[in-house]
Chains A and B, each alone.
Chain A
Amino acid sequence: MTPAEILAAIEEVARVHIGFTGSLRPEMRMVEDLELDSLKALTLALEVENRFRICLDPALEATIETVGDLVNAVGQLLADRDD
């Protein structure tokens, strides 16, 4: 998947599962701009994992600050899986 496709898929997950309306941009910060409290953050993480059939590593997850970071992390995991 291309980064743009991953971004679009995450946007869909955010819309369906945490009621996010609007469009996601890579520079958006997860907690501040997406207004994620702990429940929404957890739901988003879990549903992103389900959507892409991946498992985010906690250490990697801790470095995710922006939507772009999340897209990169998902992209990396998908690439590792397909290797």
Chain B
Amino acid sequence: MTTESLGSWLERASRRSDVGLRLLDRSERATWYPWSEIRQRVVATCGLLQRAGVRKGDRVALVFPTSIEFIDAFFGAVLAGAVPVPLYPPVRLHRLDEYSARTARMLRAVSARMVLADARLRPILGPAVAAAEPSLGCRTPGELKPGPAKPVARTPDDLAMVQFSSGTTVEPKPVALSHRAVTAQAVALNAHWPDIDGVVNSGVSWLPLYHDMGLIGCIFTALERPGTLTLIPPELFLARPGVWLRAISSYGATISVAPNFAYGVSVAKIADEDLVGVDLSGWRIALCGAEPVVPRVLRRFVERFAGWGFRPESLTPVYGLSEATLAVTFSELGAPFASRHFDRDRLSAEGRAVPAADGLELVSVGRPLAGIDVRVRDGEGRELPPGRVGGVWARGPSIMDGYLGRPEATDEVLRDGWLDTGDLGFMHDGELYLTGRKKDVLILRGRNHSPTEVEAAVDEVDGVRLGCSVAVTWLPEGADGEVLLLLVEANRGAGRSDDDELIEACRKAVRVAAGLEVDVVEVLEPGTLPRTSSGKLRRAASLELYLAGELVPPEKMTPWRLAGAAVKGSLEVARLNRKNRGRG
């Protein structure tokens, strides 16, 4: 019996020279690498790594742009029995101190044995590598010495790779994925979209390869099939989105995936002259995931590109998260995406999804992928009936083993094989609808960010109370994507004439530290933000209060009021005292 593994897939794919990876450079020139050649390159890289001292189970951090070298390094490490950890390269034209600190934290979080980097990127990794001290150092493929490759067999339970759930965070959470998890995911995806009518599926992707949708959703599925995938550097898409649709047309792709924002950007930035000769009629599956799906954005995309043959039934909203390897639910293929309207008040006040013609429009993210169970539960873990909003839980072979080296963080989200996704939603007619999140994560342009990174930047601003700011993103009705809201308590109170200066200083600090544009800054009185009994800021509750217009400072705490509160119990008094002290 042969076990499904990345190594066995490579072996199988290596017999094919008619399918493989096509990489576009910045001039949209293609370089073709059949799987037969890729397998040889990967074996060679395995030899390099083994000769350099990489052993079974070692974590090898990878810092590469979208390139064939990333593929060599990733699968070379897998073949050597090591555990690749893709990390993202720095933001362009931004200073490196934040990047270095974050990269060092991620290297330490996975106890990286080696950093393998692109030759051009290595010089800038110096500070991170010096801080994390991987025992085999930071190397480039070009400087490693060739050696005989001795592929190491791994079991389905062995760790295959580590991916980070939020790109950037003070306490990075390394998602540990077994070989079983990643292979089950790729098999399920390919089974979900078989070739039809004799048309062999092939893909186009500009998603970064350190992103689960780019690596697992695109590369792994192309390898498992084995099929052909065209890769576009993400920065090329972001600067010139027309390249995405041109590649889909030129190379006859049937599948391509992108976050909601990309569909919006395409409508806004692609001009007719960018699409000369483009035919999108073969694009059978246009997946939309990684961030909330906005129906208006998808409809505009359909209208804009219908003239180039784009078919509305191609659009397929999906839902997933890195803790589940990738996909959890899929909307129906070959049918227009489904959206329904629900009564706003009952949704927000009662957590009940009641259809209402003039209500809030939500997009269905469909049904669980084969092998995956989804439940909606209340705060105590009890299953909720359809139509009731609760936490979304998922179970299946692709769920992560846990956060590497973080048992407490793991216990918070994994219970009896079920993953608490941290997302909120409800079931309706057997399909999942998402309404928000209870986890602390910012989702912007399809990428996860940690609120702590933004809040730490704001802490540096004069006039902001240290540790008294909250960053959240949410999807306002009528917006094209999530917006970034910053709630800051000002030392000298709110509503003053110099609020505008404080707001501008906060925006600037976030831009410099995180490269993000804050949409709304709200200056608050000291003591306004809600905290837990242990004094930690409650981000989701802050957003709820803000949206309800109830974010107001606590009443002045007089001795009389404190005495009155005392009869309510000592715990409550302790809480008030803490609050009072916190206001000092």
Any chain B CB within 8 A of the CB of A17? yes
Stretch in B244-252, B473-481, B507-515, B550-558 with 4+ CB within 8 Å of A = B507-515
CB-based contact B96/A62 at 8 Å? yes
Measured CB to CB, the nearest residue on chain A to B516 is A37
Any chain B CB within 8 A of the CB of A46? yes
Measured CB to CB, the nearest residue on chain A to B512 is A31
CB-based contact A39/B120 at 8 Å? no
Task: For chain A, give the interface size range.
Answer: 20 to 34
Residues of A within 8 A of B123 (CB): 58-59
Contact of A43 with B512 at beta-carbon distance under 8 Å, contacts A38-B94, A58-B123, A65-B95 already known: no
Measured CB to CB, the nearest residue on chain B to A33 is B508
Query: What is the CA–CA distance of A57 and B89 in the complex, to the nearest angstrom?
Result: 13
Any chain A CB within 8 A of the CB of B144? no
CB-based contact B239/A47 at 8 Å? yes
Any chain B CB within 8 A of the CB of A44? yes
CB-based contact A57/B93 at 8 Å? no
Any chain B CB within 8 A of the CB of A32? yes
Contact of A37 with B511 at beta-carbon distance under 8 Å, contacts A31-B93, A61-B93 already known: yes
CB-based contact B239/A43 at 8 Å? yes
Residues of A within 8 A of B581 (CB): none
Contact of A41 with B516 at beta-carbon distance under 8 Å, contacts A17-B239, A47-B239, A58-B120 already known: no
Task: For chain B, give the interface size range.
Answer: 20 to 34
Any chain B CB within 8 A of the CB of A30? yes
Any chain A CB within 8 A of the CB of B92? yes
A79 CB, min distance to chain B CBs, angstroms:
20
A26 CB, min distance to chain B CBs, angstroms:
16
Residues of A within 8 A of B95 (CB): 31, 62, 65
CB-based contact A38/B91 at 8 Å? yes
B236 CB, min distance to chain A CBs, angstroms:
7
Pick the contact of A64: B89, B93, B517 (CB < 8 A): B93
Any chain B CB within 8 A of the CB of A9? no
User: Which B116-133 residues sit within 8 Å CB-CB of chain A?
Assistant: 120-121, 123-124
B286 CB, min distance to chain A CBs, angstroms:
22
B574 CB, min distance to chain A CBs, angstroms:
42
Query: What is the CA–CA distance of A64 and B96 in the complex, to the nearest angstrom?
Result: 10
Any chain A CB within 8 A of the CB of B235? yes
Any chain A CB within 8 A of the CB of B238? yes
CB-defined interface of A43-72 with B at 8 Å, one 1/0 digit per residue? Answer: 111110110000001110110110000100
Any chain A CB within 8 A of the CB of B445? yes
Residues of A within 8 A of B92 (CB): 38, 41-42, 45-46, 61
CB-based contact B511/A43 at 8 Å? no
User: Which B97-129 residues sit within 8 Å CB-CB of chain A?
Assistant: 120-121, 123-124
CB-defined interface of A24-40 with B at 8 Å, one 1/0 digit per residue? Answer: 00000011100111110
CB-based contact A37/B517 at 8 Å? yes
Query: What is the CA–CA distance of A35 and B89 in the complex, to the nearest angstrom?
Result: 21
Any chain A CB within 8 A of the CB of B467? no
CB-based contact A58/B124 at 8 Å? yes
Any chain A CB within 8 A of the CB of B90? yes
Pick the contact of B235: A37, A42, A65 (CB < 8 A): A42
Query: What is the CA–CA distance of A62 and B91 in the complex, to the nearest angstrom?
Result: 10
Pick the contact of B93: A17, A41, A50, A59 (CB < 8 A): A41
CB-based contact A43/B238 at 8 Å? yes
A66 CB, min distance to chain B CBs, angstroms:
11
A59 CB, min distance to chain B CBs, angstroms:
4
CB-based contact A62/B238 at 8 Å? no
Residues of A within 8 A of B512 (CB): 31-32
B485 CB, min distance to chain A CBs, angstroms:
16
Query: What is the CA–CA distance of A44 and B90 in the complex, to the nearest angstrom?
Result: 15
A53 CB, min distance to chain B CBs, angstroms:
10
Residues of A within 8 A of B96 (CB): 62
Residues of A within 8 A of B511 (CB): 31-32, 35-37
User: Which B199-242 residues sit within 8 Å CB-CB of chain A?
Assistant: 235-236, 238-239
Residues of B within 8 A of A65 (CB): 95
Contact of A46 with B236 at beta-carbon distance under 8 Å, contacts A38-B94, A62-B96 already known: yes
CB-defined interface of B496-522 with A at 8 Å, one 1/0 digit per residue? Answer: 000000000000100110011100000
Residues of B within 8 A of A47 (CB): 239
Query: What is the CA–CA distance of A47 and B123 in the complex, to the nearest angstrom?
Result: 23
Pick the contact of A42: B239, B516, B517 (CB < 8 A): B239
CB-based contact B238/A37 at 8 Å? no
CB-based contact B94/A39 at 8 Å? no
CB-based contact B90/A58 at 8 Å? yes
Measured CB to CB, the nearest residue on chain A to B515 is A38
Query: What is the CA–CA distance of A65 and B121 in the complex, to the nearest angstrom?
Result: 18
A2 CB, min distance to chain B CBs, angstroms:
23
B149 CB, min distance to chain A CBs, angstroms:
30
A24 CB, min distance to chain B CBs, angstroms:
14
Query: What is the CA–CA distance of A58 and B26 in the complex, to the nearest angstrom?
Result: 16
Query: What is the CA–CA distance of A30 and B236 in the complex, to the nearest angstrom?
Result: 21
Measured CB to CB, the nearest residue on chain A to B518 is A37
A20 CB, min distance to chain B CBs, angstroms:
13
A16 CB, min distance to chain B CBs, angstroms:
12
Query: What is the CA–CA distance of A39 and B240 in the complex, to the nearest angstrom?
Result: 12
Q: Give the one of A58, A61, A70 with max B CB within 10 A.
A: A58
Query: What is the CA–CA distance of A77 and B26 in the complex, to the nearest angstrom?
Result: 18
Q: Give the one of A30, A59, A70 with max B CB within 10 A.
A: A59
Query: What is the CA–CA distance of A70 and B92 in the complex, to the nearest angstrom?
Result: 12
A-B contact pairs, 12 of them (CB 8 A): A31-B515, A32-B508, A36-B511, A37-B516, A38-B91, A39-B445, A41-B91, A43-B238, A46-B26, A57-B120, A64-B93, A65-B95
- Listed from nearest, the 6 A-B pairs whose CB atoms lie closest are A38-B515, A59-B123, A41-B93, A45-B92, A37-B517, A46-B239
In the complex, besides A46-B235, A59-B120, 14 extra interface pairs with C-beta distance below 8 angstroms are: A30-B93, A31-B515, A35-B511, A36-B93, A37-B517, A38-B91, A38-B516, A41-B92, A42-B92, A45-B93, A46-B236, A58-B121, A58-B124, A61-B93
